[in-house]
Structure 1
Amino acid sequence: MGFLSVLSFAHRCIGERLQPGDIAVDATAGTGADTAFLCATVGAKGTVYAFDIQQEALDRAAERVGLRQEASGRLHLLLESHANMRQAIPPSDHGRVAAVMFNLGYLPGGDKRIITRPETTVPALDAALSLLKPGGIVTAVLYPGHEGGREEAERVESWAASLPEEECQAVVYRFANRSGNPPYVIAVEKRKV
């Protein structure tokens, strides 16, 4: 058995902590893979907020989840920057979010000029941490191989390294001997008080 892919590693980190009935956030809906994973994991009694600045991404997420009447009350698709997640998520859910997933870069099959940027991603990561319950987790899949991706990855890595260890623990999962600029994951767990 080989090592997990970066996406599988992010899903495993989330899956080990997220429970049916929990609240989760997909900060970058993209193709809807993470949105669908979060919806399946929190189940019928859970809630998922999915953010993207492109309607095409939200449409893909809805299609991937198979948005039916029974899912419409638990999945909230928000045409909004992830930097605004704290304002967009109801205050009653602040401090109750179990997991937040980021899959940075551009929408596969979409306009590659529309990318996530550190100016919005770092504030979004701060917002995500503020929304987490103790023991909650944030994962960020980083893609340094595209234009603008290396700068964003470096900023996110600096952000994670600067977190106070008494409040959070952060890990980096990457393939050290893969050529080019392969994607990698940063996962941050909010410590239980």
Structure 2
Amino acid sequence: MLQTALHFSHTLLKEVIQVGDIVVDATMGNGNDTAFLAELVGSTGLVYAFDVQEKALINTEKKLTELGLKDQTTLLHQGHETLGEAIPEETQLTAAIFNLGYLPKSDKQVITKPDTTKKALDALLARLKPKGRIILVVYYGHTGGEAELALVQEYSQKLPQEEYSVLTYQFINQKNNPPILFCFEKK
């Protein structure tokens, strides 16, 4: 059976993340990806997790505490566009994940935006180690979602083939705008 975009994102991350690595959850949300990443990097690794909504931080901190994963995480109550300032420039990242759209069961007016996503991607690419991956799961069925999808598609297509491999994963015969996964892998 084919994996959903979310499950496939975890498969792609598991292939490259090892214990002790440094990774990013660019859109913390309810903490599911943050917890997944924290398990992969173990107690000697580090997950930087970003979100602009206080509710996301509260939900994530609770989840990480319950799972005993809080020590290997740094939760930041700020947008992913600030990761260039929040993460030291010399840091070598193994992976990052974005779920672009809005926080489920929350204010649908608070969405990720093309300009902040581009700024975050620029900062991540500068810190990504060889064989590292950036995963973007793009939810685009809401107001503003199409513009962000267009940005990610254009950004992906402009990455130099000599430096990056880029893949998309999409169900094309499903209703209700199923998310599209993008994966950038540094060569």
Work out whether 1:127 is the aligned partner of 2:123.
Answer: yes
Residue 155 (structure 1) aligns with: 151
Q: How does 1:28-177 map to 2 (within 5 A)?
A: 28-66=27-65, 71-93=69-91, 96-177=92-173
Query: How far apart, CA to CA, are the structure 1 residues paired with 2:69 and 2:147?
Result: 37
4+ runs of 1 displaced by more than 4 Å?
Answer: none
Contact 1:50 1:76 in 2 (8 A): yes
Measured against aligned partners, the alpha-carbon deviations of 1:122-172 in whole angstroms (never above 9, x if no partner) come to 111111111111111000000111111111011111101110011111000
**Cα deviation, residue 67, structure 1:** 6.0
What is the count of residue pairs matched by the alignment?
187
**Cα deviation, residue 71, structure 1:** 4.2
Q: Could you tell me which amino acid in structure 2 is paired with residue 143 of structure 1?
A: Y
**Cα deviation, residue 119, structure 1:** 1.2
Query: Secondary structure at the residue paired with 2:19?
Result: coil
Query: How far apart, CA to CA, are the structure 2 residues paired with 1:175 and 1:123?
Result: 28
Query: Secondary structure at the residue paired with 1:126?
Result: helix
Q: TM-score, normalised by structure 1?
A: 0.93
**Cα deviation, residue 9, structure 1:** 0.6
Measured against aligned partners, the alpha-carbon deviations of 1:33-90 in whole angstroms (never above 9, x if no partner) come to 100000011111110000001111011111122268x744421001111011011012
Question: Structure 1: 5+ residue runs without aligned partners?
Answer: none
**Cα deviation, residue 178, structure 1:** 1.1
Query: How far apart, CA to CA, are the structure 1 residues paired with 2:139 and 2:32?
Result: 16
Identity of aligned residues (%): 43
Query: Secondary structure at the residue paired with 1:91?
Result: coil
